[in-house]
Structure 1
Amino acid sequence: MATKQQEKSQQTMQELMASAIELFGTKGFANTSVAEITDHAGYAKGSFYRHWNSKDELFLQIVEQKFKQYRATRHDRVQSAADLEEAMNIIWDFLETILSDRNWSAIFLEFTVYSATSEPLRKLMNKSDYRLSNHVFAELMRKHVTSDFPAEKIGALNTALFEGYLIQRALNSEVLSLKDVREAAIALAVKNGTRRD
């Protein structure tokens, strides 16, 4: 059973995370300081550093929590899909959930690009807890792939299309719609991942 101090600490952490998400959404990750996060939440900077060593660490925890929420609704549905096409549609329903929160998807894109500038951060971002990694995708899709095409490659192609779409949307490019990207990703997966007799 949690003590009152542990409950207060958890509440402080959640309030700081909520403050960070709000500020990252309005100002961007790079333009938001730890001091602004703590001021906005009504805490001293020391409260922040009791929970995280850096803004990067805070953001990784936010990503991990967000993806756990998204994944909880996706996993069982994918496992019970009848075939690869149905599984891919479930995956894209999941990805569209991420896209529906425009602020969150923009923040995630900014942080993904930012993480490319740091080797340790880049390694962390490639872990399954922080993105739709090739490994996680392969495990979700493996039972639905009936060809010799590696499920990891289907995952990598799908992730590239999704993240490419995030960039296109951030740049306000209207050449491709989400529907276009979704249909292309599913068609590519089905073409490569389905055995032809």
Structure 2
Amino acid sequence: MARKQQEKSQQTKHELMAAANELFGRKGYMETTVAEITKHAGYAKGSFYRHWVSKDKLFLEIVEDKLTSYRNSRDDRLERAETLEEVMHIIWDFLENIVSDRNWAKVFLEFTVYAARIPELREDLSLSQYRLSEDVFADLVRGYIETDYPPEKIGAFNTVLFEGFMVQSALETGIVNFKDIREAAVTLALTNGLKKA
């Protein structure tokens, strides 16, 4: 009996997360309410609060799930990489997967700006499972750098270029495309990280 209840609880949680994900993508984070999420999923508000204390915590769990999925795909490929150029393209394929979910990219940016004003959320969002970390990117390229160029700089440039692109994309300026950003990041890494022939 307990197992069936646990399975039902997991099913409810999954359906609430799916409803929230859809509504966040359509309406944005701030405009979506807990009441709308529960109604869309076909549950009472109490079902929501059995799983999360707030919409913020639900959102963080969705972010973690999405990034974990993206990272798993990336990590499988990284195990086979042999050069800095391969690693950089794998990193940027990973980032392109995030960007390709256009609505989600905008919602994540919206949430990031919102969380920046709330110390507890800002602290949560700084945890590695919720963000793209320049330290992680630095670690990914570290073993492939042939010069004394700091891998932390490559990691930071990847993050800055990607996050800047996310803002530019959300504003729909269309001035710079993803291919341009990717090319700049790869060129910078190869120019500074490989010994000159």
Rate the CA distance shift 1:13–1:183 in 2: closer, same or farther, 3 A.
same
Q: Which amino acid letter does the alignment assign opposite residue 112 of structure 2? A: T
**TM-score computed with the length of structure 2 as normaliser:** 0.94
Secondary structure of the residue aligned to 2:143 is helix
Are the aligned partners of 1:128 and 1:135 in contact in 2 as well (CA < 8 Å)?
A: no
Give the aligned partner of residue 190 of structure 1: 190
Rate the CA distance shift 1:119–1:189 in 2: closer, same or farther, 3 A.
farther
Give the aligned partner of residue 13 of structure 1: 13
How far apart, CA to CA, are the structure 1 residues paired with 2:154 and 2:169? Answer: 23
Unaligned ranges ≥5, structure 1: none
Give the aligned partner of residue 43 of structure 2: 43
Secondary structure of the residue aligned to 1:3 is helix
Task: After superposing the two structures, state which structure 1 stretch, 187-196 or 171-180, moved more.
Answer: 187-196
Instruction: List aligned pairs for 1:1-197, cutoff 5 A.
Output: 3-196=3-196
Q: Percent identity?
A: 61
Unaligned ranges ≥5, structure 2: none
How far apart, CA to CA, are the structure 2 residues paired with 1:174 and 1:159? Answer: 20
How far apart, CA to CA, are the structure 2 residues paired with 1:32 and 1:85? Answer: 41
Secondary structure of the residue aligned to 1:70 is helix
How far apart, CA to CA, are the structure 2 residues paired with 1:86 and 1:95? Answer: 14
How far apart, CA to CA, are the structure 1 residues paired with 2:17 and 2:92? Answer: 27
Deviation at 1:15, TM superposition (A): 0.5
Are the aligned partners of 1:78 and 1:90 in contact in 2 as well (CA < 8 Å)?
A: yes
Secondary structure of the residue aligned to 1:5 is helix
- State the Cα deviation string for residues 150-191 of structure 1 (Å, max 9, x = none): 222211110111111111111111211111111011111222
Q: CA RMSD in A?
A: 1.4
How far apart, CA to CA, are the structure 2 residues paired with 1:167 and 1:123? Answer: 21
Q: Which amino acid letter does the alignment assign opposite residue 100 of structure 1? A: S
Q: Which amino acid letter does the alignment assign opposite residue 62 of structure 1? A: I
Are the aligned partners of 1:138 and 1:152 in contact in 2 as well (CA < 8 Å)?
A: yes
Are the aligned partners of 1:134 and 1:156 in contact in 2 as well (CA < 8 Å)?
A: yes
Are the aligned partners of 1:75 and 1:140 in contact in 2 as well (CA < 8 Å)?
A: no
Q: Which amino acid letter does the alignment assign opposite residue 111 of structure 2? A: F
- How many residue pairs end up in the alignment? 196
Secondary structure of the residue aligned to 1:144 is coil
Deviation at 1:77, TM superposition (A): 1.4
How far apart, CA to CA, are the structure 2 residues paired with 1:44 and 1:107? Answer: 25
